Structure 1
Amino acid sequence: MLSSFFPSRQKPAPASANLPELELSGPVLAESFKAMVHGCEALGGIERYIEALKLKHTLFHQAVSDNALDTMTEETFAGLCTFMGTVRRRISSHLYGENFIAMKQALGPLLTNMKNTADVDQRIAAFCACFPEDKKHRWVRDLAAEMLHNVDPARYPLMTRWMWDRKSNTGVIREIWHGDDVDSNTLNVPDGHPTFVALRADLGGWLSENGVFADTIYYVDLLCAQIYANYICAQGGTYLRADFTSPQDPMQYSRRLLGLDGIKQSSSRTRLKAEDGASFAFDSKLLD
C-alpha cells in the first residue's frame, strides 16, 4: 500500500478508496524530476531544500498548536506569510488592526479538529466566505490551503490554485496530464481534497519507483513546484508576474512557489524561532 513508501514520522494520512483517477504523464514527471535534481545541486543539493521545507512546517505547527493561534501577534503572522508565495503580496491589508483580528477568527474553525479531513472542503469554503468573493481575494483560497498544509502536511497535501484550479483549468495537474490535445481541452477533474490526496499518492508512488523512499511528502512538494515553475517559464512569467520576476537561478521560481525565497537564518532580530534554537528573520519587502 502507499503508506509503505513513507517513513513512520512522515506518512500521509491513509488514502480513501474513493479517490479520482488521474492520468499522469510519466515522461513529463521524469523530465521535471531531472530538472529539479539538477537545479538543487547548483545550490547546495536537494537535502537543503528538504530541510527548509521541514523547518517551514515546524514553524507553522508551533505557531498554531496548543491554542497559540488565539494569542498570535501581527508580527508572527507576517513572518509566516513570507512562506506563502501566492499570498504574501496580497494580504497586507489584513495584517493589522480589525482586519487581522477578523482573519484570525476565521482561521480558528479552519484549523480546528485537524485530524478530521472529511469536512475540509466545507471548512475551506466557510473560510473563503468570510472574505469578498471577487478577483482581488482569490488569494484567500491559497491562504486556507497553505495554512492547512503547512500546519499538518501529512494529512493535507498542497491544495493551492497553482496545484490545480478547475475554474481556470490551470495547475500542476494539467501540466502533467497524459492525453491528446490537453492544451485545448478542459479537464473534468474536481479541485477538492480527494483530488490532491490522489495526486500525492500517485506522485509518491512514482517517486518510490524512481528510488526516493525517505521524505517523500517533501519531494512531492518540490516536484510539483518544479512542474509549475516550468510552466511559468514557458509562459514568460505572465502568471503571477508580480510575484515571480527575473529568476536568477534554475530553482528561483520553485522556491518562490514554496515560499522559501524570503527566509534567511539570522543571529539577530529574531522573527521566528525553531525548537532547535535557530532564529530566522524575514524580508518584510516581500509583503509590500
Structure 2
Amino acid sequence: MLWFKKQPKDVQVIERDLIVPAELTLPFDANLFQQHFSNLKHVAEQDAGLDAYISSMQSKQKLYAESLNEAAIDSLSLEKIEVLLELVFTARRRVYPVLQKMGEQQSVLLIKTLLYGNGMLLERMQSFTEALPVDEGADKAGQKLAAKIKRAAFDFAAEMLHYTDPVKYPLMSRWVWDQSTVSGALREFIRGNDHMAEVPLGNSPEMFEGARKWLAEQVAEQGIYKDVPFWVDMVLADAYSTYFRSMAEGMLSADFGRSGGPEEYVKKFLGIDTMRRSGRTRVKKDSEVQVTN
C-alpha cells in the first residue's frame, strides 16, 4: 500500500499482502516526471479532461471491487469476467477462451485463490498464469502463442488486484514494467535510459510499490492529495504512451488496434478507452491455441 512516511519501529503492522516499498536500484528523475505530468495535462485537455479520466477510473475500480470483493466473489460468472476483461487491453484478446474452456466454477476458484488464497503475492500471480490449461504444443508458433496468453493472464491478475484495492496493490502490469523485456513505463523516469542495456529494477511487488511511492511523492509536489493511485497510473500511462509512439507501431500494434492521438493510447493503457458501439464486446471469444482438458 502507499507509504508516505516510515512507520515507527515499535509499531507492528499485521496485514494481508502488506507490501513494503523497496529502495529503487536506479534513481528516478523528477524532471522526467514533470515532463510526463505536464504532457498528461496537455493530452487530457485535448480530450475530455483529467476529471473525466479520473471518473472513468473510479467507475472501473467500483466495478472490480463490487465483483471481486470477498463477500461477492463466489457469485462471479463468466459473463461478469468478460466484462472485467473488456477493461484490460492486453488481456481482452487472449484470456477469455481459456477461462471459458476451464468452466465457470474453476475460473472463479482460480480468481478467488489469486485474490484471497494463501502464499506470497507474486507466487499467487504466477500460479494464476501457470494454472491456465494451455497446450504449448510442439512447434514454436504454438509455444509463442501460449506464452502470449500467459503473459496476458498475468496482466489480468495484476489489474484484478489493483482495481479491487488500488491503495493496497500497485499496478503491476507488464506495460508498467516487464523485467524480461527490460521495458515499460518505469524506464521513462530514468535519465539516460536509452543507452542502458540493463535496467535491473526486478519484478517484485516491493519494487512496484517503491516506484509508486516515489511517483506518489511527485504527485503530492503538484498539490494533489486525492485519488493519488489513479494519478500515478495516469502519469505511468503517459510515460508508456511516449515510449510506444517512439517505436514503430507495426511492431507493437497487435494488442492495440488502430488508435488515434496520444490520448487514445493513454486511455487504452488505463482500460478506459471507448467501447464499441451497440454494446459489442472487444473480448475475443476464440483462440488459435489448444486448450488442454
Q: TM-score under structure 1 normalisation?
A: 0.81
**In percent, how many aligned pairs have the same letter?**
26
Match of 2:240 in 1: 228
2:123 is the alignment partner of 1:119: no
**Contiguous gaps of at least 5 residues in structure 2:** 6-16, 137-145, 286-293
Match of 1:33 in 2: 37
After superposition, the Cα gap between the structure-2 partners of 1:30 and 1:96, relative to the gap in structure 1 and judged at 3 Å, is: same
After superposition, the Cα gap between the structure-2 partners of 1:17 and 1:223, relative to the gap in structure 1 and judged at 3 Å, is: closer
Aligned partner of residue 111 in structure 1, secondary structure = helix
Contact 2:170 2:209 in 1 (8 A): yes
Q: Any idea what the Cα deviations from partners look like across 1:84-121, whole Å, max 9, x if unmatched?
A: 111001123135353444332211111106xx9x8211
Choose which of 248, 251, 276 in structure 1 pairs with 2:263.
251
Distance in 1, matches of 2:101 and 2:74, equals 15
Q: How big is the shift at 1:240?
A: 3.9
Aligned partner of residue 214 in structure 2, secondary structure = helix
Q: Any idea what the Cα deviations from partners look like across 1:61-86, whole Å, max 9, x if unmatched?
A: 10012442222122111111111111
Moved more, 60-69 or 155-164: 60-69
Match of 2:8 in 1: none
Choose which of 219, 222, 228 in structure 2 pairs with 1:207.
219
After superposition, the Cα gap between the structure-2 partners of 1:202 and 1:72, relative to the gap in structure 1 and judged at 3 Å, is: same
Distance in 1, matches of 2:90 and 2:21, equals 31
Distance in 2, matches of 1:26 and 1:188, equals 19
Contact 1:84 1:146 in 2 (8 A): yes
Q: Any idea what the Cα deviations from partners look like across 1:146-190, whole Å, max 9, x if unmatched?
A: 1101111111111001111111111112122124x6434211111
Contact 2:24 2:210 in 1 (8 A): yes
Divergent runs of 4+, >6 A: none
Q: Which amino acid aligns with 1:247?
A: S
Match of 1:142 in 2: 155
Contact 2:96 2:283 in 1 (8 A): no
Distance in 2, matches of 1:197 and 1:91, equals 26
Distance in 1, matches of 2:233 and 2:168, equals 14
Q: How big is the shift at 1:231?
A: 0.9
Match of 1:278 in 2: none
Q: Which amino acid aligns with 2:282?
A: K
Contact 1:262 1:286 in 2 (8 A): no
RMSD: 2.6
After superposition, the Cα gap between the structure-2 partners of 1:251 and 1:123, relative to the gap in structure 1 and judged at 3 Å, is: same
Match of 2:187 in 1: 174
Contact 1:107 1:127 in 2 (8 A): yes
Match of 1:87 in 2: 91
Q: Which amino acid aligns with 1:252?
A: E
Distance in 1, matches of 2:128 and 2:3, equals 31
Q: How big is the shift at 1:16?
A: 2.6
Distance in 2, matches of 1:202 and 1:24, equals 8
Where do 1:12-27 residues align within 5 Å?
A: 16=20, 18-27=22-31
Distance in 2, matches of 1:247 and 1:140, equals 23
Q: Any idea what the Cα deviations from partners look like across 1:4-55, whole Å, max 9, x if unmatched?
A: 8xxxxxxxx9863654344112232222111110111122210110111111
Q: How big is the shift at 1:237?
A: 2.2
Q: Which amino acid aligns with 1:130?
A: A
How many aligned residue pairs are there? 261
Contact 1:84 1:259 in 2 (8 A): yes
Q: Any idea what the Cα deviations from partners look like across 1:182-225, whole Å, max 9, x if unmatched?
A: 43421111111001101110001111112222221111000101
Q: How big is the shift at 1:253?
A: 0.5
